[in-house]
DNA sequence: ATCCGTGTTCGGCATAGTCGAACGTTATTC
DNA sequence: GAATAACGTTCGACTATGCCGAACACGGAT
């Protein structure tokens, strides 16, 4: 599957900038193995559209405001998000936990909805944050039903608890496929556990996942919380047009009669 | 200033998609005046990075989750945002109004921070929304001190009150430069008025603007609210390293002795 | 004042992108 | 139900386009 070289490079520049906040032209060129003048031409174009911005003092480059505009429109167009909003609210009240909804982006999970814990404390909005898929419950729920295999298997862990063994992860995913429920205990951040369930769409695929954020001190969660989560996932999936929940296993795991 | 053609086209595709949510390949090609196969090649690249997504049923294209990730990182890197956060909170409490902070993106204002009205009602988060610069107080505060002239002057109005006359707008901007305060009365959305002030950075430019959203029924706002707004803008500007507030008029309006 | 370290511009070569036409598939019509 | 139309997708050839190396300007260092 051929890609347009210059566009690919432009997107790589954005990705690099997204990882390291503010970089000089030379640094970007170095990380991508390109000539500075090549990068400059592309950045000039990104600059004209507001996708990157240049600090007037240090001359370094950052992401620009156009990225925010795009991200906001993405949220608006996401049917998943509007469908999940009402259910997440109720789920948070019932369980006393924060509720996250996420979608898969390559090997990561991007949070598209966040219902804060209903205890009135000020909490940072988490919409837009990215978590490695293999290290969170949302990610496991998504990977288990993803038609593409787990992208690059597991690179490296985030905490001591992170699962870095491909076969151990695969065993977990198999269980997720059977039960429809994925869990995670301090594998992404210490002190934080999670439990999640996939959200099926009309095509029978996992369009997203919804999950509870559970403090390690309250782990494992009550059975009633798990039931509420499962019910919410079922309800949202039905609204999305899915016929079954949990969704069927992806085709790659069903090689029965074709060879 | 030459731009890379294919990258420019890729960004145009994103912009079109951002305006019209979901489009077929042919529609995109039509709006850009390009061959469908050309657009397809670019979209395939955007697809590989998650910048666009394709619906599996209708085959149409939407923006993808990678846009959200970029937008979120942009917010994190924005010094303006973190500096404004504490002040906006106090300003909202003192005035009883919602507080918005925005930056300029070509001819529009992008909201980068939003402190809801402190009356406890559920309000939509407005971070990421885009408003034509000439139709809102934030935009006027920014345009008045923007080194580039008002991009394309005023195209067309949003409500009957929107200022569409370039000279009328320029007169307002001149007053903004003198007082440091910009206002808007139902020019963007009916029933909503605004008052805003620029935020100066170390370079003496308007890096952003902060403003109050005032219901039309409470317009004009009390003098104490205007004072509080001005004080907040001064404080944030000082934290950003600005020496003066309001910032000096842009160079394009100072052609004294050079020719 | 001089030297590095930047970001930026310019021009030639060849690669890499564009376009038109053909293909396969899916929805629509009679 | 068959034929048609519309759409996304693939392929190949032409040449316009973007890539790179070297030269230029600017700033802050020593």
pLDDT tens digits for range B134-143: 999 999 999 9
Q: Cα–Cα distance between A93 and A169 in angstroms, integer? A: 31
Residues of A in contact with B67 (CB under 8 A): 67, 70-71, 73-74
Instruction: Return the H-helix or E-strand segment holding A210.
Output: strand A206-215
Residue A61 CA and nucleotide D20 C1' are separated, in Å, by 22
- State which of A41, A68, A95 marks the end of a domain: A68
Q: Is A116 exposed, middle or buried (0-12, 13-18, 19+ CB in 10 A)?
A: middle
Mean pLDDT score of chain A: 89
Instruction: Point out the nucleotide closest to B8 (alpha carbon to C1′).
Output: D18
Q: Tell me which residue of A89, A87, A70, A67 sits closest to A78, measured CA to CA.
A: A70
B172: containing domain = 78-253
Please tell me whether residues A126 and A226 are part of one structural domain.
Answer: yes
Note whether A110 contacts B6, CB cutoff 8 Å.
Answer: no
Is the same domain home to B28 and B57? Answer: yes
Per-chain mean pLDDT for chain B: 89
Of A120 and A228, which is predicted with more confidence?
A228
Closest CA in chain B for residue A106: B50
Q: Round to whole Å and give the CA distance between A50 and A99.
A: 33
B136: domain CATH number is 3.30.450.40
Q: How many CB atoms lie within 10 A of CB B18?
A: 21
User: Are B6 and A6 contacting, i.e. CB atoms less than 8 angstroms apart?
Assistant: yes
Residue B104 has pLDDT above 60, yes or no: yes
Residues A57, A82 share a domain: no
Q: Which residues pair with B108 in a beta bridge?
A: B105, B132
From the list A4, A10, A103, which residue is nearest B41 (CB)? A4
In a domain, B258, yes or no: no
- Both tokens of A222, joined, read 């009550």
Query: Rounded CA gap, B41 and B10, in Å?
Result: 10
Q: How far is CA A192 from CA A102, A105, B120, in A?
A: 17, 22, 29
Residue A125 has pLDDT above 70, yes or no: yes
Q: pLDDT tens digits, residue range A238-255? A: 999 888 888 988 866 655
- Report, as an integer, the average pLDDT of A45-67: 91
Choose among A76, A61, A78: nearest CA to A19: A61
- One domain, residues A219 and A131: yes
Q: Which of B15, B48, B68 sits opposite A74 (nearest CB)?
A: B68
The C-alpha atoms of residue B217 and residue B219 are separated, in whole angstroms, by 6
pLDDT digits (tens, 9 = 90+) for A159-214: 777 887 888 888 999 999 999 999 999 999 999 999 999 999 988 889 999 999 99
Mean pLDDT of B238-256: 79
Contacts with B237 (C-beta within 8 Å, 6 or more apart), sequence order = B198, B199, B200, B201, B245, B247
User: Is the predicted pLDDT of residue B210 greater than 80, yes or no?
Assistant: yes
Instruction: Judge whether A257 lies within some domain.
Output: no
Residue A259 has pLDDT above 70, yes or no: no
What pLDDT score does B245 carry? 87
Torsion of CA A110, A114, A116, A122, to 10 degrees: 70
Q: Is the pLDDT of residue A10 over 50?
A: yes
Q: Which residue of A has its CA nearest to B113?
A: A68
Whether residues A52 and A102 fall in one domain: no
pLDDT at position A203: 83
Examine the domain organization and report whether B223 and B245 are in the same domain: yes
**Composition of chain A by helix, strand, coil, percent to 5:** 45, 20, 35
% pLDDT > 90, chain B: 69
Counting the structural domains of chain B, the total is: 2
Local confidence band at B120 (pLDDT 50, 70, 90 cut-offs): confident
Say which range, A153-167, B92-106, B133-147, B213-227, has the weakest mean pLDDT.
Answer: A153-167
Residue B105 has pLDDT above 70, yes or no: yes
Which pLDDT score, from 0 to 100, does residue A162 have? 82
Could you tell me the two tokens for B176? 């903004």
Q: B38 lies in a domain?
A: yes
Of A46, A49, A68, the CB nearest to B128: A68
User: Are A60 and A88 contained in the same domain?
Assistant: no
Count of A-B CB contacts under 8 Å: 173
Write down which residue in A17, A38, A68 finishes a domain. A68
Residue A244 tokens read as 């079954």
pLDDT interval class at A258 (50, 70, 90): very low
- List protein-proximal bases of chain D (any atom < 7 A from a CB): 6-12, 17-22
Shortest CA distance to A106 belongs to which of B13, B120, B50? B50
d(CA B98, CA B91) in angstroms, rounded, equals: 9
Q: What is the pLDDT of residues B5-40, one digit of tens each?
A: 999 999 999 999 999 889 999 999 999 998 889 999
Give A241's DSSP letter. T
Within a domain: residue B259? no
Looking at beta carbons, which residues of chain B come within 8 Å of A45? 3-4, 7-8, 11
Instruction: State yes or no: pLDDT of B254 exceeds 80.
Output: no
Q: What is the pLDDT of residues B47-88, one digit of tens each?
A: 999 999 998 877 899 999 999 999 999 999 999 999 999 999
For nucleic chain C, give residues with Cβ below 7 angstroms from it. Answer: A 4-7, 24-27, 36-37, 40-41, 43-44, 54, 59-60; B 1, 5-6, 9, 34-38, 41-42, 57
Query: Does strand D come within 7 Å of the CB of B40?
Result: yes
């Amino acid at each position: 599957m051929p890609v347009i070289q210059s566009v690919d490079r432009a997107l790589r520049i954005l990705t690099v900038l997204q990882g390291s906040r503010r970089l000089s032209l030379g640094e970007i060129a170095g990380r991508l193995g390109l000539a500075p003048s090549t990068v400059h031409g592309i950045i000039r174009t990104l600059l004209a559209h507001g996708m990157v911005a240049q600090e007037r003092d240090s001359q370094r480059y950052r992401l620009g405001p156009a990225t925010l505009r795009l991200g906001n429109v993405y949220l608006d167009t996401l049917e998943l998000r509007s469908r999940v909003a009402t259910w997440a609210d109720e789920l948070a009240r019932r369980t006393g936990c924060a509720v996250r909804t996420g979608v898969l982006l390559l090997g990561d999970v991007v949070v598209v909805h966040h219902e804060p814990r209903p205890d009135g404390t000020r909490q940072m909005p988490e919409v837009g944050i990215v978590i490695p898929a293999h290290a969170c419950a949302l990610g496991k729920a998504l990977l288990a039903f993803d038609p593409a295999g787990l992208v690059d298997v597991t690179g490296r862990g985030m905490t001591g608890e992170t699962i870095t063994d491909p076969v151990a992860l695969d065993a977990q995913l198999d269980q997720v496929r059977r039960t429809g429920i994925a869990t995670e205990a301090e594998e992404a951040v210490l002190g934080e556990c999670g439990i999640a369930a996939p959200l099926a769409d009309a095509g029978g695929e996992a369009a997203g996942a919804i999950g509870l954020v559970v403090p390690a001190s309250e782990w494992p969660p009550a059975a009633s919380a798990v039931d509420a989560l499962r019910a919410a996932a079922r309800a949202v999936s039905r609204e999305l047009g899915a016929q079954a929940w949990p969704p069927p296993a992806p085709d790659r795991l069903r090689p029965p009669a074709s060879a």
